[in-house]
Structure 1
Amino acid sequence: MTEKFHKIFRNSYKILIPFYTVFLLYLMFFGFGRSQYDFNIVRLLPMISTADFVMKTVDLKTIIINVFGNVIMFTPFGFLGIVFPKLNDFKTLIINFLSAIIIIESLQYFTRLGVFDIDDVILNTIGVAIGFWIYKKLASRASA
């Protein structure tokens, strides 16, 4: 990646990531025809609800959108070190992301506009980790 491209990417990311974040928050609380549940739902057994969803869903497209979407949609947050240099450290990024996603999942629970699902926390965090790995690979190529 050339220095010029790196600079354009960095500047574009800084402008676009806030809008992308708002878009994701919209999807998490209001998207996909979501309406308020009659009661609060919490799922704390790791990967049980995802495995159950995959086993009971016939449509492969729905499985891909749900499972891989939870990973892919969060990969851009692995690049947050561009905006916040302290987040260039993997451990710091993951701790900060986990704090944020647990707050968001809790808000879904308390507003009943979603479910607190540990699987979402896990899959979203995997997405951030993949994004961080991509970011570091691209950054190392830019400096080489």
Structure 2
Amino acid sequence: MLKKFYQFIIYPYTLLLLYLMLFGFGRIDARYPDPTLRLEPVISTVQFTKSGLPWIYIVKIVLGNIIMFIPFGFLGWSFPKLRTLKNLMFNFLSAIIIVEALQYFTRLGIFEVDDIILNTFGVFLGWKIYRYIETHYGRFVTK
């Protein structure tokens, strides 16, 4: 039952996330005049914390970049080839780099290595949860 629900919900969830990453949060109205690349890992997040924004806002953004991608750790339920961490990470990294590049080239966002790292960590956490569920409750998670 859980697998069927996941398989049903992951497609609209993916579309919603793509919408948020490319068009949400007023991105169309606030196109970046010059495409921006932030390629230094962790440094841009540290600079972000020193920007003077309230800490709660910073925590929401950082945790959001992790939590929103946890469901993709369960992709093995929909795509059996993605059950291994290696295959899942390779495919996810390919996809997230394309999305970040789209943000850059369309000027609807910034290509940030930190986003890729945080999003990938979210997928990894999701995969760990997925493996735990499969290992301990697999017989209850029906197809």
Shared fold per TM-score greater than 0.5: yes
Counterpart for residue 24 of structure 1: 17
Q: 2:104 aligns with which of 105, 109, 114?
A: 109
Kept in 2, the 8 Å contact 1:70–1:123? The answer is yes
* Cα root mean square deviation, aligned: 1.1
Unpaired runs of 5+ in structure 2?
A: none
**Secondary structure class of the residue paired with 1:66:** helix
Say whether residues 1:67 and 2:46 are aligned partners.
no
Deviation of 1:17 (Å): 0.4
| Larger helix share, 1 or 2 | 1
Q: 1:52 aligns with which of 30, 47, 52?
A: 47
**Segments ≥4 residues shifted beyond 6 Å:** none
Q: 2:114 aligns with which of 99, 116, 119?
A: 119
Q: TM-score, normalising length from structure 1?
A: 0.91
**Secondary structure class of the residue paired with 1:36:** coil
Unpaired runs of 5+ in structure 1?
A: 1-7
Deviation of 1:42 (Å): 0.5
**Secondary structure class of the residue paired with 2:34:** coil
**Secondary structure class of the residue paired with 2:44:** helix
CA-to-aligned-CA distance 1:3-32 (integer Å, 9 cap, x gap): xxxxx1100110100100011111111111
Over the matched positions of the two proteins, sequence identity in percent amounts to 51
Between stretches 9-18 and 31-40, larger displacement belongs to 31-40
